[in-house]
């Protein structure tokens, strides 16, 4: 691949090429085979290391590489979708007229000065940044309420589904049923009886080839007093029965979907030492491509959307590509985490920050290098984890060695880069970059010859 930059039209054109190429190939259908643990289905980590490996740096880099490949695939296969136009620019295009910079904090290198899409559902980078901050905030809320003598219950509500059903339709049913549970006179009575302060709701979606899309909700319900099968037992079972009854009745009466009140809904008490874990659990989707021990799915055969993107990046499986495109469109404008009215104020928390604010907020790190915008495009447009490898080089403790390693990585990728300035920090750019028009023409010729 050339080191030239590609515009949005190029990416969209390349998307069609990739789809055609994937359709022509006949690789092992890792998407469909995910129902089998033997083929690496649910329970398979996104990155697998030998049991005797203790090299944390290697594991971290493998996770970065996997995330980078998945992010590149997401950008390429969704470039023609109007709802995904911001994803195409995310992490590739500098903000304003300046150049992006490499910064470090706590020994970790990251890029700053780049546009973000703030798509918590479909962007690996933005999802992680947003959900990490949401998780920390949820943990504060849970700890604060428990310290004040209240109780918190973790409720999981699910629904019947089958293979072939459209995700958008299933999601609408899920939203309608929860809206019914938390509205009307019945909800008012429920709140008064159990002294409900409010709730935090998080949506989650997985997919299995045997049963299709599986949207469900995780809810933290903040009540007046601790409840569990061992503590305030009568109130606990009464509350659980009331929630199950309202949920299942709506599912059956309006949507003609019969479900078991015994197995369709789960209610568990949250203990004080689980506060941090609750925040991470409700936001766990964003951790998949960044945390060491996270699994692709909790139940055998189920994969989250990011796991589908990861598999598609590794195999080119057209079935997985189409699944993720459906996911991008169905998740558009859906909220991942929502707080009930008045809960934040009751817990003494400030106004909720938007996903965009959280995604665009860079850590307060130290700038260690400036990267020419054309060079960065040459790095970011590649499919071989170039971004991840480039950033990893800057994590060497010695600044001069880090820059030398970064240049070596680029040269190994066939990108000729040089240090043009060294004050106040290195400025790295392409070595004799061709004019933009030439780069685009060369890319077009290269694309036509694939």
Domain ranges of the chain: 8-77+79-121+360-448, 124-283+336-352
Residue 345: Cβ within 10 Å count: 12
**Cβ contact 90:117 at 8 Å:** yes
- 3-state secondary structure at position 57: helix
Which value, in Å, is the radius of gyration of the alpha carbons in the chain?
24
- Write the CA distances from 84 to 9, 201, 333, 411, 421, integer angstroms: 14, 25, 11, 32, 37
Q: Helix, strand, coil proportions of the chain in percent (round to 5)?
A: 50, 15, 35
**pTM (whole model) above 0.85:** no
Q: List alpha helices for 233-334, DSSP H.
A: 233-255, 275-282, 305-315, 318-330
Regions in the chain scoring below 50 on pLDDT? 1-6, 8, 11, 21-53, 285-299, 437-450
Question: Residue 4 has what pLDDT?
Answer: 41
Question: Residue 441 has what pLDDT?
Answer: 33
- Whether the CA torsion 41, 45, 48, 53 is positive or negative: it is negative
Q: Locate tokens 């003598």: which residue? A: 149
Q: How far apart are CA 235 and CA 302, in angstroms?
A: 34
DSSP 8-state assignment for residue 199: E
Tell me the two tokens of residue 104: 């470090």
Give strand pairing partners of 223.
151
**Cβ contact 360:119 at 8 Å:** no
- Write the CA distances from 371 to 97, 112, 155, 182, 425, integer angstroms: 13, 10, 47, 51, 10
Question: Residue 278 has what pLDDT?
Answer: 63
**Cβ contact 261:106 at 8 Å:** no
Non-local CB neighbours of 53 within 8 Å, separated by 6+ positions: 59
- 3-state secondary structure at position 111: strand
């Amino acid at each position: 691949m050339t080191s030239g930059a590609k515009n949005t039209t190029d990416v969209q054109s390349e998307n069609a090429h990739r789809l055609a190429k994937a359709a022509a190939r006949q690789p092992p259908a890792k998407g469909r085979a995910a129902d089998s643990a033997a083929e690496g289905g649910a329970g398979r980590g996104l990155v697998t290391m030998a049991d005797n490996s203790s090299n944390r740096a290697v594991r971290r880099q493998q996770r970065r590489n996997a995330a980078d490949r998945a992010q590149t695939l997401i950008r390429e296969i969704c470039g023609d979708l109007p709802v995904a136009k911001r994803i195409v620019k995310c992490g590739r295009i500098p903000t304003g007229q300046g150049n992006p910079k490499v910064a470090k904090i706590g020994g970790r290198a990251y890029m700053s000065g780049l546009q973000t899409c703030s798509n918590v559902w479909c962007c690996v980078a933005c999802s992680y940044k947003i959900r990490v901050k949401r998780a920390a905030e949820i943990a504060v809320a849970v700890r604060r309420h428990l310290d004040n003598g209240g109780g918190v219950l973790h409720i999981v509500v699910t629904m019947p589904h089958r293979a072939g059903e459209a995700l958008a339709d299933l999601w609408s049913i899920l939203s309608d049923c929860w809206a019914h549970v938390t509205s009307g006179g019945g909800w008012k009575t429920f709140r008064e009886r159990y002294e409900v302060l409010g709730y935090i709701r998080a949506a989650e979606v997985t997919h299995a080839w045997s049963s299709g899309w599986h949207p469900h909700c995780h809810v933290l319900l903040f009540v007046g007093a601790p409840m569990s099968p061992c503590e305030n037992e009568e109130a606990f079972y009464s509350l659980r029965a009331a929630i199950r009854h309202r949920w299942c009745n709506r599912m059956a009466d309006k949507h003609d979907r019969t479900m078991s009140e015994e197995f369709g809904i789960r209610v568990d008490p949250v203990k004080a030492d689980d506060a941090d874990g609750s925040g991470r659990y409700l936001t766990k989707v964003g951790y998949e491509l960044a945390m060491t021990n996270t699994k692709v799915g909790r139940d055998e055969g189920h994969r989250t959307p990011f796991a589908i993107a990861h598999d598609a990046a590794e195999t080119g499986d057209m079935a997985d590509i189409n699944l993720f495109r459906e996911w991008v469109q169905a998740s558009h404008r859906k909220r991942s985490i929502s707080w009930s009215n008045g809960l934040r104020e009751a817990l003494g928390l400030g106004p909720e920050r938007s996903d965009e604010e959280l995604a665009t907020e860079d850590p307060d790190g130290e700038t260690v290098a400036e990267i020419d915008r054309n060079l960065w495009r040459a790095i970011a447009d590649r499919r071989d984890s170039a971004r991840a490898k480039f950033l990893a080089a800057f994590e060497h403790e010695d600044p001069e060695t880090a820059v030398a390693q970064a240049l070596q990585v680029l040269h190994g990728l066939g990108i000729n880069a040089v240090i043009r300035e060294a004050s106040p920090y290195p400025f790295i750019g392409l070595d004799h970059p061709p004019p933009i028009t030439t780069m685009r023409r060369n890319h077009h010729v290269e694309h036509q010859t694939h």
